[in-house]
Amino acid sequence: SWDWTHRDPDYLPPEIDTTKPSIARVYDAFLGGKDNFAVDRAIAMEGMRHFPDRGEGTRNNRAMLFRGVKYMAEQGVDQFLDIGSGLPTMDNTHSVAQRINPAAKVVYVDNDPIVLAHARAILQTDERTRVITADMREPEVILDHPDVEGFLDFSRPIGLLLVAVVHHLADAEDPNGLVDAYKARLAPGSYMQLTHFCSCAPEMRELEAVLLQMLGTGRARDMPEIARFFAGLDLVEPGVVHVPEWRPEEPVRHPLDLGGICVAGGVGRKP
Ligand code: SAM
């Protein structure tokens, strides 16, 4: 575990391998963050060479994450389960939710231990936030975890966030079955926000090829496949769309550019 008394600023916990790329750090590199290593930046650079969106796609995704959280908090949701939460950035799910409702609780889940290491430093004093290292492919482990089951009240609405994480599951891992397992545990009135790499543009196939080759993961699916993840939920207007078009706060310029079309998603409410 992380030794907080360590004085060496370059110290890294032994579970952090800087020679192998990490999804969370590659995403951070695309966002223009500083919590990444050369091996991660090489993938982001190669990705942007084939898909020259200058990282706009990741920033559009993150912006839609926050608009969705804000929307759910405004509907009265005061507890969130953010799976595949990624490294903390300038803004985060708990800060967005707590701006609407200071009592809002958030559990962050990521299978990359670097997320826990970074998030702990930020969240040490936040009583309404938890962060655990667990894998989305093990729904029971996450849903029965004491920091999830014992912290969130599953008899009341929860905002489930599966934002830019399901595209890291292969078809053979049954992404639909996994998403259904999470939805099944939610109380009526709960929401799910999900975003996903969209295969709408031919250029996306090139980005997908770079990610699959260099990172081993990152699959684009088409709109009907993405919409299918919301089965059993009532879609919040405007439905499943390219992320810049999900309840934008400023006018959206058409046609959408590469950074606008690479990710699609929406928010659904459990009846
Ligand atoms: N949700 C954040 C956002 O949209 O800004 C971060 C998205 S980032 C592209 C995907 C995150 O999902 C990474 O931090 C990665 O470590 C995590 N992840 C990938 N596969 C996962 C799995 N099987 N279980 C849990 N987390 C996973």
Output the DSSP codes for 194-255: EEEEBTTSHHHHHHHHHHHHHTS----B-HHHHHHTTTTSEEPTT-SEEGGGSS-SSPPPSS
For 23-269, which CATH class? alpha beta
Q: Nearest Cα to 160, choosing from 85, 86, 92?
A: 85
> What local confidence, expressed as pLDDT, does residue 9 receive?
64
Atom 12 (ligand 1) nearest CA: 84
Residue 61, ligand 1, Cβ within 6 A: yes
Mean pLDDT confidence for 93-97: 96
Domain spans of the chain, in order of start: 23-269
Look at residue 4 and tell me whether its pLDDT is greater than 60: no
> What local confidence, expressed as pLDDT, does residue 90 receive?
86
Look at residue 1 and tell me whether its pLDDT is greater than 50: no
Look at residue 2 and tell me whether its pLDDT is greater than 80: no
Calculate how far, in angstroms, residue 72's C-alpha sits from the geometric centre of ligand 1: 21
Look at residue 259 and tell me whether its pLDDT is greater than 50: yes
State pLDDT tens for residues 219-251: 999 999 999 999 999 999 999 999 999 999 999
Residue 214, ligand 1, Cβ within 6 A: no
Residue 165, ligand 1, Cβ within 6 A: yes
State pLDDT tens for residues 109-155: 999 999 998 888 777 778 999 999 999 999 999 999 999 999 999 99
State pLDDT tens for residues 15-54: 888 999 999 999 999 999 999 999 999 999 999 999 999 9
Residue 65, ligand 1, Cβ within 6 A: yes
